[in-house]
A and B are shown apart, each in its own frame.
Chain A
Amino acid sequence: MSTEAKKQIIDVGDGAAIPRKSDRGLFTAWRIAFFGAIGTIAYLVWSKPDPYLNIIKFVPDGIAVTFQVTLGAILLAIVIGLITGLGRISKNRFFNGVASLYVEVIRGIPLLVQIFYIYYALGTIVKVPAILSAIIAMAVCYGAYMGEVVRAGIESIAKGQREAALSLGMNGRQTMIHVILPQAVKVILPPVGNEFIALLKDSSLVSIIAVADLLRRGREYASESFTYFETYTVIALIYLIITLFFSKIIGVMEERVSVNK
């Protein structure tokens, strides 16, 4: 494959499959999964209110926490990613070195280990709520991946754009702000959406550091009622519904961006 063709592909992380308009098979798969999951929960609650209705009543707090962690982490990760991405393409050797080192180190440590580490490391310096520590841990991790998305997005903008801007007398910063970044955002948006979904799923890992997210609420209920199978069935279905919902939104977004081009 030529490098030219390779540059067009930005595929980072393992976000949910995005249904394409042209791909009827996938589209149907999304429908079956989404409405199937909703239908299954509805059926379970209707046929066996105990324990299913009780589970459903118990977990909404957890869903809220999961969203809080995901949203906080993705916003922070985008900021970190932008700085890291610019660092990775910077000609300044110090800035570039720091950004590259950060990406290498973070990508080499499992997220679960990072969450433990940041939680306890932060704990020795300042007392922060577990949820904040969870957000920081997720953001630091995803910021590294986001940095690569930003870098790839910037590099996907044709060299001629930069040359045209420079030939008009713009300096590097003006070129980046007015010409490169506005175009890169369109390219970056879909992979950022994928990262968001991956982060949403990975946020279940924070349940190990006393953050009462969806998974942890489920575990709390299960260990009290000894209904492990039933509880985790519901938890899995809720994650599935949320993830499918967002992947659909991102799919629509991606379509609109490509139309605007």
Chain B
Amino acid sequence: MSTNSRRKMVEAKEIIKVYGSFRALDRVSLDIYDGEKVVIIGPSGSGKSTLLRSINRLEEIDRGTIVVDGMDLYDPKTDITKVREEVGMVFQSFNLFPHKTVLENLTLAQIVVRKRSKQEAEEKAMMLLERVGLAAKAKSYPGKLSGGQQQRVAIARSLAMDPKLMLFDEPTSALDPEMIGEVLDVMKDLAKDGMTMAVVTHEMGFAREVADRVIFMDAGRIVEEGTPEHFFTAPTHERAKLFLSQIL
């Protein structure tokens, strides 16, 4: 792998996040390279969501540095909204705007943040809805859509901003089993397209198929890291072995 010669999209060094006396992140360092797909797994409470959310500063860290696309998140001169424009995020609970139609969900930030014209934004939105197979739902309100459809709209909404990096925070955990596939398909399609992705998930099949690198976290630390092949067949850390035996 020649990842080292590639540009770093995310460079997190020795980050610490504390809730009261609980260390959610304990000196975690993580680099994500341009075009790389990183899947983060681990038991609940291991800090994987916190790590993901600190990459676009939805979660403030207490120590350490995070540089995203060359911008230091904690440099006072950095405009955090500029960073977030480049970093898409998909949430477990979709978080579509319920008072706006599907189309408006996709155009809002394009118009307000990217300053695109309404027409331009709508063209882009329709193209993306086509891609996730929901062009017919453009005029619907999110409340009328199934969970799987809502999540596909949420992914399209993020993509409308032309992000350089996509963060997925347990995107299928709130879905009924029969809807998980349609969302994973969209994500696989995105991966094939070369998008840089960081995904927190419990979908081991997805991790095996898509990940360039699997990261296993426990108690706020990265305890195992490697290719999916290595991780799923020959994990070295005891905690990782136990986790895999429980989940597979």
What residues of chain A have their CB less than 8 Å away from a CB belonging to chain B? 158, 160-161, 163-171, 174, 178-179, 182-183, 186, 261
Identify the closest chain B residue to A183 (Cβ). B99
Number of A-B contacts (CB under 8 A): 64
Smallest beta-carbon distance B69→chain A, Å: 13
Residues 127-160 of B at the A interface (beta carbon under 8 Å):
143, 154, 157-158
User: Does B74 reach chain A (CB closer than 8 Å)?
Assistant: no
Smallest beta-carbon distance B102→chain A, Å: 14
A182→B99 contact, CB < 8 A: yes
B58→A166 contact, CB < 8 A: yes
* 5 A-B interface contacts by CB (under 8 A): A160-B91, A161-B95, A167-B158, A168-B88, A174-B113
Q: Which residues from B are CB-within-8-Å of A171?
A: 81
Binding site secondary structure of chain A: helix
A170→B112 contact, CB < 8 A: yes
Identify the closest chain A residue to B105 (Cβ). A164
State the CA gap A169–B163 with chains docked (Å): 10
A169→B84 contact, CB < 8 A: yes
User: Does B93 reach chain A (CB closer than 8 Å)?
Assistant: yes
User: Does B89 reach chain A (CB closer than 8 Å)?
Assistant: yes
State the CA gap A179–B58 with chains docked (Å): 17
A168→B84 contact, CB < 8 A: yes
Q: Which residues from A are CB-within-8-Å of B84?
A: 166-169
Partner of B97, one of A164, A169, A174: A164
Q: How many chain B residues touch the partner (CB < 8 A)?
A: 26
A170→B87 contact, CB < 8 A: no
15 extra interface residue pairs, beta carbon distance < 8 Å, beyond A158-B93, A168-B85, A169-B114: A158-B95, A160-B91, A161-B97, A165-B97, A166-B58, A167-B58, A168-B84, A168-B88, A168-B108, A168-B161, A169-B82, A169-B161, A178-B108, A183-B98, A261-B143
Which one of B87, B97, B158 has the greatest number of beta carbons of chain A within 10 Å?
Answer: B97
State the CA gap A155–B192 with chains docked (Å): 40
State the CA gap A174–B158 with chains docked (Å): 17
State the CA gap A169–B91 with chains docked (Å): 15
Smallest beta-carbon distance A47→chain B, Å: 54
Partner of B95, one of A164, A174, A182: A164
Identify the closest chain A residue to B104 (Cβ). A178
Given contacts A174-B113, A178-B108, A178-B112, contact A167 B97 (CB under 8 A): no
State the CA gap A168–B93 with chains docked (Å): 16
Smallest beta-carbon distance B163→chain A, Å: 9
Smallest beta-carbon distance B171→chain A, Å: 13
Given contacts A160-B91, A164-B97, contact A169 B58 (CB under 8 A): no
State the CA gap A161–B161 with chains docked (Å): 17
Q: Which residues from A are CB-within-8-Å of B161?
A: 168-169
User: Does B109 reach chain A (CB closer than 8 Å)?
Assistant: yes
User: Does B196 reach chain A (CB closer than 8 Å)?
Assistant: no
Smallest beta-carbon distance A33→chain B, Å: 36
Smallest beta-carbon distance B81→chain A, Å: 5
Q: Which residues from A are CB-within-8-Å of B114?
A: 169
Smallest beta-carbon distance A91→chain B, Å: 13
State the CA gap A171–B81 with chains docked (Å): 6
Q: Which residues from A are CB-within-8-Å of B87?
A: 167
B91→A163 contact, CB < 8 A: yes
Smallest beta-carbon distance A8→chain B, Å: 15
User: Does B50 reach chain A (CB closer than 8 Å)?
Assistant: no
Identify the closest chain B residue to A185 (Cβ). B99
Q: Which residues from B are CB-within-8-Å of A179?
A: 97, 108
B95→A163 contact, CB < 8 A: yes
User: Does B172 reach chain A (CB closer than 8 Å)?
Assistant: no
Smallest beta-carbon distance A204→chain B, Å: 38
Given contacts A169-B84, A178-B108, contact A164 B91 (CB under 8 A): yes
Q: Which residues from A are CB-within-8-Å of B58?
A: 163, 166-167
A167→B56 contact, CB < 8 A: yes
Identify the closest chain A residue to B154 (Cβ). A164
Q: Which residues from A are CB-within-8-Å of B158?
A: 167-168
Given contacts A166-B84, A167-B84, A179-B97, contact A174 B112 (CB under 8 A): yes
Give 5 closest A-B pairs by Cβ, nearest first. A169-B85, A164-B95, A168-B109, A167-B89, A160-B95
State the CA gap A167–B95 with chains docked (Å): 11
State the CA gap A167–B108 with chains docked (Å): 13
A169→B81 contact, CB < 8 A: yes
Smallest beta-carbon distance A156→chain B, Å: 13
